[in-house]
Structures are given as structure tokens and as C-alpha cells.
């Protein structure tokens, strides 16, 4: 069954009226500080839009032990400095002779946009300072044939190509290597954004790699289908990006991580096309080259399409939530849930700091809601005896048949009762689930008031979960004091994914940089030391963000020297001129 959606009539460019160009998300969506010190979110895309949040700033000030000075705003660089493009004239002439003019640009705004991802370090430099090195050209591929022609020209003229998807990388994977002396071309894939075919009988879909996750789901759901991969960045990230970082989605318990969803990947490399001739349900064919494409991070070639498993939309969908008295009890609940055989599509546990953060994002209650809120608070604190500074919250997204969802709800209620918890209901569960899509905007808002923060994730065995949380917490407190940073550091964590052998832990941390010299350098050193502490305590290098350049130093403690050498030999044999010189992961040198 061929997809009938026509190709885009208007050409996609990264810098446009919808997005910021550099900050996270869309121009119509941002947090703003009102004159009465309440906070609101503009637009109407998210559940947090359209009301004032009076508790937001007080929460920040309490957690950081500082006062937000509304008049002390970090000034943005309006005329963003971009170094002059280094042009290989022979290559540029060949491109002009081979491709239509709308396929490429030397414009400063597009070059800058394609030279940074979404780490705090990168965005701080783009918005408030200067990016060290910028791509020399941006090329928008529209077909596999164009991709092959571009690679051939790059080989002929010794050009460095860097694949670019949605630009949501948080591993410095899109940074241009400082040692790269050749002309650098960022290859944007987002015009390759179509569903090529749908095989209903075998439940497969062939999709071009530049499609945004939200667009993919939009096209499929019209036909009653879903892939089910829903990362926090689904609105902005691409299929190719998911594959190249070996990504995970919030509903992985039902649909799997990206490696469970993908049946075939097509990558065009300097040595030809790497793919299976046909997608394979499951086969013993020796070493699978497909596995090397997952997590390849732009080092081998350009991913152009993939075959994915597709599902009919679930018969039933619901939410739920539960409160527990402390973190340890919440972890014990999640551990037993993981063994229950009735795990919801998404199951999350948030620590007390994140629970209170969620409460700080509520609107001020009015009318009858004031009394309802007071009653709920009385029941939670006085009847059920929850400590507001220890209690934790879980949220759940349930999908499947009516019987499956009913069983999951029954299991949640049974285990919540066993661990002396309290069911919080579907409304709170939905709020907790959807909150993920909006809170990414908070970083850019807080940076304006000289508070910088970041997220960090790891996978860890059940037996070392608490040890890893304590190690990260102790390290940030130690270094915050060592560097004499004002106030207190903020750190919170949640368990967004549970597995047979362990969990993913997702950290949020922040600090005031008011009066701090070289704040980004200090912040980066603290983040590095926290990662080091996490791994020493038993955590992994990353659960789903990838390695890039940010975590490259930790690879030697992750895989053996012979494993690293094997990967380098494959790279050298397949791309001897290092055309794909993005230098991520073990290829950083």
C-alpha cells in the first residue's frame, strides 16, 4: 500500500518562522516572567500554556537558596558572530553544476544553526557568546540519488560531511571538530520526510529518515496505525537521529526501544549502500551490519530510510498515578511492577524534588477548586500521613486491549496498596506524562536569569540504583562548594524506564551563575565529574542520549581496547578518507 501524501511543495529550511533557530522548540512557546513574579507559558501547544504559575519562582528560589533578580537579565547576542566560510571552490562549483540552487546555502544563520545541538554548553555559546567553529555549507538532500552524488563529490574533493537530523542532540555530537581543516558541509535530511510504503499484512512501514517523529505519527494515525516510539523530543527529532543515537521512547515497555522497532536501515556510505536486501523478521545471518548502524552517530554515512514495525492504534488508552511515602518505597514498588507481567506502556517514578517541581507548575486554584485542593491536601498529609518533603510520585500511560489495560490498572492498584501508597488518578497521570514535552523550554527561560541547568541519564542495575543517585548528588554538592558558587545546587532524579535487570535514571541539575567567572567552563567540569561519579558507582555512559563528543572519554571504561580497535578498523576500511569526519564516540581522535 503506497502512501498518498504528496511531497512538500515548500522547501524545508532549519531557520524559519516556526522555530527559534537555536533555542529549544517553537517560537510561539516560551516561559515568561510576569510583572507579579508569576510565570506563564505562551502559545497553546502544551498543557502548561494559558495560565499563571505563582509557585514557580518561589520553588526555584527555595531549591537554589537565592533570589531571582528580574532586572538582572543575561543579554543575548543579537548579531550572532559567524566565522567566514572556508570554501573549497572546486567542490562548490561542482555542487552548483550538479544540483538545483535550493539544495544548498552558505547563509550564516543556516550554517550556525547546523553547527550546534542542544546541550547547555552549545546553546549558551550560540545565544550569549560565540560558537567556536561553524559549518561552511548546509546541504538539503531530497533523495537517495542526491545523497550518493553528494558523497561522490565529497570524496573527489576531500570534503567533510556531517549528517544533521532534528538538531536535538545533547551529547555535542553536532559540534564541528576543532582539528578539522577541510571544508565542512552539514547535510540536513529533513526534506526526506515521507512514508514510502505501508505493508498492512506484515505490519511494516518504510519511512524516509528525515521525517520528524510527530509527523510520522500524524501520518500513521490517520490510517489507524502507530510506531509507538515517543521520545521526549518527538516533535523535533527525526527517525535518522533515533537510529544514529540508539534512542529510547517513553512507551518502550509496549513498543520497545528503537533497536526493537527497526527491521532494516539503509545507509549510504563512501563505500556504497549498507542495508539488508529485504527486511528480516528474525534470522541467523552471522554478524549483522545493521547493529553497527544503530548508535553510529554520523561516523559512517547518511541514513536515508528504515523499515519499522507498525501497530494498529490501541483499543484502549488510559493514565494513572500513585503516591508513595519515600523514594525507597517507590523503588521497591517499581521493582515489583517490573516482574508483574502487567507493566504499562510508560511507568515513571519521580523523586520528591521533581514531585514538588510539578506542583510548582500548577495554576492558582480559584472558586470550588480551592476547597477541593484543600481537601486533597488534608487527606494526603493528615489522613494518609504523607511527608511533603519525602513523598514521591509515579505516573503511568496504559495502552493495549481493554483486557490488558484493565489488568494493568488492577495490578497498579494492588501493588500501590501493598506498598502503603495512594492512587492519584488519571488526571495526575496524564499531567505527569505530558509535562515532559513542555519542561524542556524551562532551561532557556532560567538561563536568562543566570541559572543554568542540564539533564543527564544513565542505565544502572537495580542493585546499584540508590548508590548512583547518591554519588551524583554528593558530587554536585561537593563541587558546588569547591567552586564557591552562590546558593545551593539543584539536583533531582526520576526513573523513566524499567527493565528486567535495571532502570534508566534521568537527572536534572542546575545552579546559579550570578557573579561566577567562566560559568560554562565550571559547569562543564562539574557535569563531567558527575558522569565520572555515576559510572564509578555502577551507572552506564548513557541510556539513550548517545556518546557524541561529550562522553567520549568514558568509552575506554565501557568497551575493551580490542573492541575500540575493531570499530576503528571498520571505519578506516569503509571510509579511508574520513569523509564522515564528525569525530564522535571512539572516533574522536
The whole-number pLDDT of residue 371 equals 64
In a domain, 7, yes or no: no
Place of cell 514498588: 333
Q: Given a cut of 80, is residue 21 above it in pLDDT?
A: no
Q: Report the alpha-carbon distance of residue 587 to residue 45 in Å, rounded.
A: 39
Q: If you average pLDDT over residues 466-495, what whole number do you get?
A: 98
Write the CATH number for 116: 3.30.43.10
The answer to whether residues 542 and 484 touch, using CB atoms and an 8 Å cutoff, is no
Task: Render 177-225 in DSSP notation, one character per residue.
Answer: PTT--S-EEEEE-TT---EEEEETTTTEEEEETT-BHHHHHHHHHTTTE
The whole-number pLDDT of residue 495 equals 98
Residue 64's pLDDT band, with cuts at 50, 70 and 90, is very high
Q: Are 200 and 298 in the same domain?
A: yes
Decide which of 191, 213, 247 is a domain's last residue: 191
Q: If you average pLDDT over residues 356-366, what whole number do you get?
A: 89
The whole-number pLDDT of residue 110 equals 93
Residue 1's pLDDT band, with cuts at 50, 70 and 90, is very low
Q: Report the alpha-carbon distance of residue 568 to residue 549 in Å, rounded.
A: 16
Q: Given a cut of 70, is residue 9 above it in pLDDT?
A: no
In a domain, 152, yes or no: yes
The percent of residues in the chain predicted with pLDDT above 70, rounded, is 96
In a domain, 76, yes or no: no
Residue 2's pLDDT band, with cuts at 50, 70 and 90, is very low
Residue 361, all three cell numbers: 507548575
Identified catalytic residue from 441, 449, 493, 506: 506
In a domain, 343, yes or no: yes
Q: Report the alpha-carbon distance of residue 33 to residue 199 in Å, rounded.
A: 49
CA nearest neighbour of 21 among 78, 69, 60: 78
Place of cell 522497532: 261
Write the CATH number for 265: 3.30.465.10
Q: If you average pLDDT over residues 481-506, what whole number do you get?
A: 97
Decide which of 174, 191, 208 is a domain's last residue: 191
Write the CATH number for 357: 3.30.70.3450
Q: Are 131 and 156 in the same domain?
A: yes
The whole-number pLDDT of residue 260 equals 97
In a domain, 300, yes or no: yes
Residue 503, all three cell numbers: 532502570
Q: Are 115 and 151 in the same domain?
A: yes
Q: Report the alpha-carbon distance of residue 39 to residue 361 in Å, rounded.
A: 9
Q: Are 295 and 225 in the same domain?
A: yes
Contacts with 198 (C-beta within 8 Å, 6 or more apart), sequence order: 1, 2, 3, 204, 205, 206, 223, 225, 310
Q: Are 321 and 415 in the same domain?
A: yes
Q: Given a cut of 70, is residue 185 above it in pLDDT?
A: yes
Q: Report the alpha-carbon distance of residue 280 to residue 277 in Å, rounded.
A: 9
Residue 5's pLDDT band, with cuts at 50, 70 and 90, is very low
Q: Given a cut of 60, is residue 7 above it in pLDDT?
A: no
The answer to whether residues 141 and 305 touch, using CB atoms and an 8 Å cutoff, is no
State phi, psi for 138 to the nearest 5 degrees: -115, 130
> 255 catalytic, yes or no?
no
Decide which of 191, 213, 241 is a domain's last residue: 191
Q: Are 341 and 385 in the same domain?
A: yes
Contacts with 90 (C-beta within 8 Å, 6 or more apart), sequence order: 157
Q: Are 404 and 468 in the same domain?
A: no
CA nearest neighbour of 473 among 462, 488, 452, 487: 488
Domain enclosing residue 492, as ranges: 442-544
pTM listed for this prediction? 0.94
Residue 468's pLDDT band, with cuts at 50, 70 and 90, is very high
- Number of domains observed in the structure of the chain: 4
The whole-number pLDDT of residue 372 equals 60
Contacts with 538 (C-beta within 8 Å, 6 or more apart), sequence order: 460, 461, 463, 464, 467, 468
Q: Are 261 and 320 in the same domain?
A: no
In a domain, 412, yes or no: yes
Instruction: Put residue 323 in one of left, alpha, beta given phi > 0 → left and psi -120 to 50 → alpha.
Output: beta
Place of cell 541539575: 509
Q: Given a cut of 70, is residue 180 above it in pLDDT?
A: yes
Q: Are 257 and 185 in the same domain?
A: no
Write the CATH number for 470: 3.30.300.330
**19-33, 67-81, 371-385, 546-560 — which is least confidently predicted?**
371-385
The whole-number pLDDT of residue 187 equals 98
pLDDT tens-digit readout, 255-287? 999 999 999 999 999 999 999 999 888 889 888
The whole-number pLDDT of residue 62 equals 96
In a domain, 477, yes or no: yes
Q: If you average pLDDT over residues 213-235, what whole number do you get?
A: 97
The whole-number pLDDT of residue 287 equals 87
Q: If you average pLDDT over residues 443-450, what whole number do you get?
A: 96
Q: If you average pLDDT over residues 572-588, what whole number do you get?
A: 96
Q: Are 416 and 349 in the same domain?
A: yes
pLDDT tens-digit readout, 400-437? 999 999 999 999 999 999 999 999 999 999 999 999 99
Place of cell 523499515: 307
Q: If you average pLDDT over residues 147-169, what whole number do you get?
A: 97
In a domain, 570, yes or no: no
pLDDT tens-digit readout, 90-148? 999 999 999 999 999 999 999 999 999 999 999 999 999 999 999 999 999 999 999 99
Q: Given a cut of 80, is residue 10 above it in pLDDT?
A: no
Q: Are 323 and 420 in the same domain?
A: yes
Residue 23, all three cell numbers: 533555542
pLDDT tens-digit readout, 514-556? 999 999 999 999 999 999 999 999 999 999 999 999 999 999 9
pLDDT tens-digit readout, 318-339? 999 999 999 999 999 999 999 9
Q: Given a cut of 90, is residue 366 above it in pLDDT?
A: no
Q: Are 218 and 301 in the same domain?
A: yes
Place of cell 545533547: 170
How high is the mean pLDDT of the chain?
94
Amino acid at each position: 500500500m503506497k502512501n498518498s501524501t504528496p511531497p512538500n511543495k515548500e522547501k524545508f529550511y532549519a531557520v524559519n518562522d516556526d522555530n527559534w533557530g537555536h533555542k529549544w522548540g517553537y517560537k510561539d512557546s516560551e516561559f515568561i516572567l510576569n510583572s507579579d513574579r508569576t510565570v506563564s507559558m505562551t502559545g497553546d501547544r502544551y498543557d502548561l500554556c494559558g495560565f499563571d504559575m505563582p509557585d514557580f519562582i518561589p520553588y526555584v528560589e527555595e531549591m537554589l537558596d537565592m533570589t531571582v533578580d528580574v532586572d538582572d537579565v543575561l543579554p543575548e547576542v543579537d548579531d550572532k558572530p559567524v566565522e567566514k566560510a572556508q570554501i573549497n571552490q572546486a567542490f562548490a562549483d561542482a555542487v552548483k553544476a550538479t544540483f538545483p540552487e535550493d539544495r544548498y546555502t552558505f547563509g550564516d544563520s543556516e550554517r550556525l544553526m547546523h553547527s550546534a545541538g542542544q546541550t547547555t554548553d552549545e546553546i549558551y555559546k550560540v545565544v550569549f557568546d560565540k560558537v567556536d567553529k561553524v559549518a561552511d555549507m548546509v546541504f538539503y538532500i531530497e533523495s537517495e540519488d542526491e545523497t550518493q552524488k553528494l558523497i561522490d563529490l565529497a570524496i573527489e574533493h576531500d570534503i567533510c560531511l556531517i549528517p544533521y537530523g532534528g538538531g536535538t542532540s545533547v551529547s555535542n555530537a553536532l559540534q564541528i571538530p576543532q582539528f578539522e581543516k577541510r571544508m565542512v558541509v552539514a547535510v540536513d535530511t529533513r526534506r526526506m520526510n515521507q512514508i514510502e510504503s505501508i505493508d498492512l499484512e506484515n505490519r511494516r512501514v518504510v519511512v524516509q529518515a528525515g521525517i520528524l517523529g510527530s509527523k510520522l505519527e500524524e501520518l500513521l494515525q490517520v490510517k489507524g496505525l502507530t510506531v509507538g516510539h515517543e521520545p521526549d523530543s518527538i516533535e523535533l527529532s527525526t527517525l535518522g537521529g533515533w537510529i544514529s543515537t540508539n534512542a529510547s521512547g517513553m512507551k518502550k515497555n509496549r513498543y520497545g526501544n528503537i533497536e526493537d522497532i527497526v527491521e532494516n536501515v539503509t545507509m549510504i556510505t563512501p563505500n556504497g549502500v549498507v542495508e539488508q536486501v529485504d527486511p528480516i523478521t528474525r534470522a541467523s545471518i552471522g554478524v549483522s551490519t545493521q547493529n553497527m548502524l544503530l548508535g553510529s552517530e554520523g561516523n559512517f554515512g547518511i541514513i536515508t530510510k528504515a523499515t519499522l514495525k507498525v501497530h494498529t492504534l490501541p483499543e484502549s488508552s488510559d493514565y494513572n498515578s500513585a503516591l508513595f511515602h519515600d523514594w525507597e518505597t517507590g523503588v521497591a514498588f517499581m521493582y515489583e511492577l517490573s516482574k508483574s507481567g502487567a507493566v504499562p506502556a510508560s511507568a515513571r517514578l519521580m523523586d520528591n524534588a521533581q514531585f514538588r517541581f510539578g506542583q510548582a507548575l500548577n495554576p492558582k486554584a480559584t472558586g470550588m477548586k480551592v476547597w477541593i485542593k484543600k481537601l486533597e491536601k488534608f487527606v494526603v498529609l493528615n489522613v494518609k500521613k504523607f511527608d511533603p518533603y519525602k513523598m514521591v510520585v509515579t505516573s503511568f500511560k496504559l495502552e493495549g486491549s481493554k483486557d490488558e489495560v484493565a489488568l494493568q490498572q488492577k495490578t497498579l492498584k494492588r501493588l500501590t496498596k501493598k506498598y502503603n501508597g495512594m492512587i492519584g488518578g488519571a488526571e495526575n497521570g496524564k499531567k505527569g506524562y505530558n509535562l515532559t514535552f513542555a519542561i524542556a523550554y524551562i532551561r532557556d527561560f532560567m538561563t536568562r536569569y543566570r541559572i543554568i541547568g542540564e539533564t543527564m541519564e544513565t542505565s544502572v542495575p537495580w542493585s546499584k540504583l540508590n548508590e548512583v543517585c547518591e554519588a551524583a548528588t554528593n558530587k554536585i554538592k561537593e563541587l558546588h562548594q569547591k567552586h564557591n558558587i552562590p546558593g545551593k545546587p539543584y539536583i533531582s532524579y526520576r526513573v523513566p524506564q524499567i527493565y528486567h535487570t535495571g532502570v534508566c535514571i534521568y537527572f536534572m541539575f542546575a545552579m546559579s551563575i550570578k557573579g561566577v567567572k567562566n560559568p560554562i567552563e565550571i559547569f562543564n567540569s562539574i557535569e563531567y565529574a558527575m558522569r565520572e561519579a555515576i559510572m564509578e558507582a555502577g551507572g552506564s555512559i548513557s541510556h539513550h542520549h548517545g556518546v557524541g563528543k561529550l562522553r567520549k572519554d568514558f568509552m575506554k571504561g565501557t568497551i575493551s581496547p580490542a573492541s575500540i580497535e575493531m570499530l576503528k578498523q571498520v571505519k578506516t576500511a569503509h571510509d579511508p578518507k574520513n569523509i564522515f569526519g564528525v569525530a564522535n564516540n571512539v572516533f574522536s581522535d
